Amino acid sequence: MRPTRIVLPTPYAVGPVNAYIFPDEPVTIVDPGPLYGPAQDALERGLQELGVDRGRIARILVTHHHPDHSGYAPALAAETGAEICAHPDAIARIRRPFGDPEATECLLRRHGVPHEVLRGMDKELQRIVSHIAPLEAAREICDGERVRAGEEELLAVLVPGHAPGHLAFVGQGFIISGDTVIANLTPNPVLEVDASGRRKSLPEYIESIKRLQSLPNLPILPGHRDEIEDPAPLLARYLEQIAERRERVLSALGDRTVQAFALSQEFFPMRRGADPFLALSEVLGHLDLLEERGLVEESQEGDRIVFRRRT
Ligand SMILES: [Zn+2]
């Protein structure tokens, strides 16, 4: 049986987020939303309409660590005694939302992000972190594991790219996709730095879309916006759009040697808050794809990281 959607407001530009409830035992919620009063009120109202007492929630599934989806999970677990289930990479990031901020800042600087833009990003990231409760215990769910949610047996499928450790949950006749698939929106391949360096978020995302394409074409219940009855055309369009943008980045690069931030500002001239971070994430993703194809090379010039066409 499909879960019931409860739409929750968020304090972020992305707008409302979807939580999904399986009202039977074990009562399960997927992505309980941000730590944000209006979202908790909306969740309470939604549960009341369903006749579900919040105290009966036994399991909290988290698709990915972004605080619009998971920020409230630790507090809800503490209130109800429910267990949080998420991929180990997501759990690590709920505990430390931006991993190693110094390593990330250093990398951003080397990609050419100027000081004042870094300060703006930092302020925005601090605001985002303020909507996450600290996490105590959590159960690790890995790719291919099955987990009960109400009367459903969900299959966890690892679909990283938008976020490391992002899980989709496949049930009988539906897929809960988190932010991997959203109607009329191409999810961001968010820049992530871990112990081994910068992750190749966009190449990972493409593999995840291909993974979803290999599954039955079931209706998708996304992390934002409405259900997608027939996702196959949307998944194909994502791959086409990414290929088109990749080619645009290649032609914009021309014969220059440039830093990724400068290139990202040509595509998305935004310098406030987290926008330049997302723009840089996107352009670095395309540069990674071009590098994989042997068309572009990344190199160091002193402390700077630069890109040029391979000749
Ligand atoms: Zn997200």
CA distance 305 to 257: 10
The residue type at 140: E
Determine the distance separating the centroid of ligand 1 and the alpha carbon of 32, expressed in angstroms: 13
pLDDT in tens, the chain (311 residues): 899 999 999 998 889 999 999 999 999 999 999 999 999 999 999 999 999 999 999 999 999 999 999 999 999 999 999 999 999 999 999 988 777 788 889 999 999 999 999 998 888 888 887 888 788 889 999 999 999 999 999 999 999 999 999 999 999 999 999 999 998 888 888 898 887 889 999 999 999 999 999 999 999 999 999 999 999 999 999 999 999 999 999 999 999 999 999 999 998 887 777 789 999 999 999 999 999 999 999 999 999 999 999 98
Determine the distance separating the centroid of ligand 1 and the alpha carbon of 105, expressed in angstroms: 20
The residue type at 302: G
Whether residue 55 lies inside any domain: the answer is yes
The residue type at 35: L
pTM of the model: 0.94
User: Is 8 in contact with 17 (CB distance < 8 Å)?
Assistant: yes
Locate 64 and state its tokens.
């990915």
How many domains does the structure of the chain reveal? 1
Determine the distance separating the centroid of ligand 1 and the alpha carbon of 65, expressed in angstroms: 7
In this predicted structure, what is the pLDDT of residue 271?
A: 72
Determine the distance separating the centroid of ligand 1 and the alpha carbon of 187, expressed in angstroms: 8
| Domain around 224 | 4-99+131-245
Determine the distance separating the centroid of ligand 1 and the alpha carbon of 143, expressed in angstroms: 19
Q: What is the DSSP letter of 171?
A: E
Determine the distance separating the centroid of ligand 1 and the alpha carbon of 17, expressed in angstroms: 10
CATH assignment at residue 206: 3.60.15.10
In this predicted structure, what is the pLDDT of residue 275?
A: 86
Whether residue 311 lies inside any domain: the answer is no
Whether residue 301 lies inside any domain: the answer is no
The residue type at 221: L
The residues pairing with 169 across neighbouring beta strands, listed in sequence order, are 156, 176
Determine the distance separating the centroid of ligand 1 and the alpha carbon of 310, expressed in angstroms: 33
Strand order, beta sheet including 152-158: 146-149, 152-158, 167-171, 174-178, 220-222
In this predicted structure, what is the pLDDT of residue 110?
A: 96
Locate 271 and state its tokens.
């310098």
In this predicted structure, what is the pLDDT of residue 244?
A: 96
In this predicted structure, what is the pLDDT of residue 128?
A: 80
Whether residue 121 lies inside any domain: the answer is no
CA distance 187 to 163: 10
- Using a CB cutoff of 5 Å, list residues around ligand 1, an ion: 66, 179
Inter-CA distances, 139 with 62, 78, 91, 146, 155, Å: 11, 14, 9, 13, 15
| φ and ψ of 91, to 5 deg | -60, -45
Within 13 A of 126's CA, how many CA atoms are on the CB side? 6
The residue type at 46: G
Within 13 A of 128's CA, how many CA atoms are on the CB side? 21
